């Protein structure tokens, strides 16, 4: 068993623990976390006179750097990247960036450890936390901007124009590079992702399945289905080479490799994914989530239903997903359509249905 002390991307006042078994198999929902929670709340701790031992791996960093170096390619063209560590644990990966080929110049933001996160919350999901990175990318005339979350398992990206890259688009871009080594491989994409993600992956010769939201669920599905890569809208990117676990810095290297091999700027790589219009995630506080989901299923029964996570219903020119929060009395809506007009029309209709009492 391995334990990481982490509160993920939560603010400074939070802390917690993340458990995993051999080969990075997570202990999460449905795989033991509920039992650990109940034992802890009830104070039922195992008493043993013989103490266990802590294994301290003194050469961990050296082994990690050797592992990461295998993903560097040769013949890089000159690139400049700006990396915002947000005062979080991603700072430990500075050694990886310092070992980059000489053609890759790295510029750092907030690269001193400070769990109070004095400059901004280390959460690339929030646009306001990326303002400094966007500004620095433009000032430096950089080719790419990178932002880590607090414990460096998630990552967000900004293109050379200072524009935020949607995290589902990264699933497609990273998958294209991964598929070069694994032609025809299976990719798992967050079911909230744009249809353009599936299309681009299939155009690159990959197979695609939807996956639920949640890192432990995704890792489980990758093992069950033999997937070689997976991505989540939160900025988790999961690689087969890392025991099917998320690895933010490997996502950075993979994107740099794709940029170098194609010769395209990030904005040019992203351009092919701008095929549809997405609503973004919209949250609703509801008292009875199940009642709302059942009513929506009835109203939109003519579409293609997928109940992998909440409900996703597809029509020829649009789709929507409504899923319940695991921790709050909320429903989350995502919607996409071929035109902005259809997206707005369907978004307003669904918002009205979810907000009002359904009977």
Give the neighbor-by-neighbor strand order of the sheet with 207-211: 207-211, 186-190, 229-231, 237-239, 245-246
Please compute, for residue 206, the number of CA atoms within 13 A of its CA located in the half-sphere on the CB side.
30
Alpha-carbon Rg for the chain in angstroms: 21
CB burial of 246-278 (b: ≥16 within 10 Å; e: otherwise) equals bbbbbbbbbbbbbbbeeeeebeebbebbeebbb
Contact in structure between 258 and 173 (CB atoms under 8 Å) = yes
Beta bridge partners of 146: 83, 157
Smallest Cα–Cα separation from 206: which of 245, 247, 251, 171?
A: 171
Residues ≥6 apart with Cβ < 8 Å to 228 = 178, 179, 182, 185, 186, 187, 240
Please identify which of the residues 8, 106, 279, 325 carries the catalytic annotation: 8
Q: Are 72 and 253 in contact (CB under 8 A)?
A: yes
Helix spans in the chain (H): 33-41, 60-69, 94-98, 131-140, 167-181, 195-203, 215-225, 248-262, 266-271, 289-299, 340-355
CA 234, CA 123: separation in Å to the nearest integer? 9
Largest Cα separation within the chain, whole Å, is: 68
The span from the CA of 359 to the CA of 348, in Å, is 19
CA gap 188, 191 in Å, rounded: 9
Three-class SS state of 87: coil
Active site residue 279: no
CB count within 10 Å of CB 296 equals: 21
Enzyme catalytic residues: 8
């Amino acid at each position: 068993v391995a334990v990481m002390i982490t509160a993920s991307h939560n603010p400074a006042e939070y802390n917690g623990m993340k458990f995993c078994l051999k080969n990075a198999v997570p202990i999460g929902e449905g795989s033991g976390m509920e039992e650990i929670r109940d034992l802890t709340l009830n104070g039922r701790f195992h008493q043993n006179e013989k103490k266990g031992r802590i294994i301290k791996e003194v050469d961990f960093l050296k082994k990690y750097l050797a592992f990461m170096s295998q993903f560097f390619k040769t013949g890089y063209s000159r690139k400049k990247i700006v990396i915002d560590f947000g005062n979080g644990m991603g700072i430990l990966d500075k050694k990886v960036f310092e070992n980059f080929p000489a053609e890759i110049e790295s510029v750092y933001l907030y690269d001193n450890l400070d769990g109070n996160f004095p400059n901004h919350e280390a959460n690339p999901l929030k646009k306001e936390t990326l303002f400094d990175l966007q500004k620095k990318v433009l000032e430096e005339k950089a080719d790419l901007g990178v932002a880590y979350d607090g414990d460096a398992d998630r990552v967000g990206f900004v293109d050379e124009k200072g524009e935020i890259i949607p995290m589902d688009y990264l699933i497609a871009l990273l998958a294209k590079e991964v598929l070069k080594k694994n032609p025809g491989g299976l990719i798992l994409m967050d079911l909230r992702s744009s249809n353009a993600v599936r299309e681009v992956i299939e155009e690159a010769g990959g197979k695609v399945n939807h996956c639920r939201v949640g890192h432990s669920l995704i890792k489980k599905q990758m093992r069950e289905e033999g997937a070689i890569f997976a991505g989540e809208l939160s900025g988790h990117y999961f690689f087969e080479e890392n025991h099917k676990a998320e690895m933010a810095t490997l996502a950075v290297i993979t994107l740099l490799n794709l940029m170098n091999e194609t010769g395209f700027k990030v904005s040019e790589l992203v351009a092919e994914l701008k095929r549809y219009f997405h609503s973004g995630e919209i949250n609703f506080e509801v008292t009875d989530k199940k009642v709302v989901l059942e009513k929506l299923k009835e109203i939109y029964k003519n579409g293609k239903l997928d109940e992998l996570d909440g409900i996703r219903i597809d029509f020829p020119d649009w789709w929507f997903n409504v899923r319940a929060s695991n921790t709050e009395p909320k429903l989350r809506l995502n919607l996409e359509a071929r035109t902005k007009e259809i997206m707005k029309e369907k978004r307003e209709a669904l918002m009205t249905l979810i907000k009002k009492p359904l009977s």
